[in-house]
Amino acid sequence: MELLLVFLIGVLYAAGVYFMLRRSMVRLLLGIILLGNATNILIFLLGNITKGKPPIIEANLKVFNDIYADPVPQALILTAIVISFGLTSFAIVLLKRVYALLGSDDLDDLNTPEEEDI
């Protein structure tokens, strides 16, 4: 499971970086999303995956005697997912507006000089 996730993270990071380096705005967005997801899975992996051991202390015990699944990374991922959801939806709207104004998907076209610069 861990090994599979390690490869998945690597592929996601590589794909994310590749997309971000392209000139298309849609690919830029896809790159951002992929990088965000790769980071989330990375946090999940680094929290030491433990299967079927919820962090609940049994009634007759005072402290944990056993290995348990750490809930903190999952809380972190949840927060990060919510935040990236908001950012991504903003980014989609922004890129849609830019496309409507510019009529181009090329990031190199984003340099219209203003009259003040001329």
Partner 1 sequence: MIDNQIIATILVHLFTAIVQLAFWRKTVTQRILSITGSFLGFILSLHLFNKVFNGSILTMNAANWEAPFGIVFVADTLSTTLVLLTSIAALAVSIFSATGVGRARMLFGYFPIFHFLIMGLNGAFLTGDIFNLYVWFEVVIISSFVLLTLGGRKAQLEGAVKYMAMNILASTFFLTGIGILYGITGTLNMADLALKIPKVQDQSIVNLTSMFFLIGFGIKSAVFPLYFWLPSSYHTPPSAVAATFGGLLTKVGLYALFRVFTLMFVPNEFIKTVFIVMAIMTILTGAFGAIIKNNIRRLFSYLIVCHIGFIIGGLGLYTKLALLGAIFYLIHDIIIKTNLFLIAGLIRQLRGTMNMTKLGGIYAEYPKLSLLIALVLFSLAGVPPLSGFWPKIYLIEAAFAGENYFFIVSIILGSFITLYVLAKLWVEVFWKDAADDAAIVDKFKPLNSLNKVLLVLPIGILASTTLYIGLNAEMIIQVADKISTEMLDTRPYIKAVLGK
Using CB under 8 A as the binding criterion, the count of chain residues that bind partner 1 stands at: 38
What is the Cα–Cα distance from 77 to 81, expressed in whole angstroms? 6
Instruction: Select the residue interacting with partner 1 from 79, 81, 85, 106 (CB under 8 A).
Output: 79
What is the Cα–Cα distance from 18 to 54, expressed in whole angstroms? 38
Residues 6+ away with beta carbon under 8 Å from 33: 16, 84, 88
Instruction: Select the residue interacting with partner 1 from 32, 52, 58, 108 (CB under 8 A).
Output: 32
Residue 69 engages partner 1 in binding (rule: CB under 8 A): no
What is the Cα–Cα distance from 12 to 31, expressed in whole angstroms? 9
**With respect to partner 1, which residue has the nearer C-beta, 51 or 60?**
51
Residue 101 engages partner 1 in binding (rule: CB under 8 A): yes
CA distances from 98 to 77, 81, 111 (A): 30, 25, 12
CB–CB of 31/18 below 8 Å? yes
**With respect to partner 1, which residue has the nearer C-beta, 4 or 60?**
4
Residue 72 engages partner 1 in binding (rule: CB under 8 A): yes
**With respect to partner 1, which residue has the nearer C-beta, 18 or 90?**
90
Residue 117 engages partner 1 in binding (rule: CB under 8 A): yes
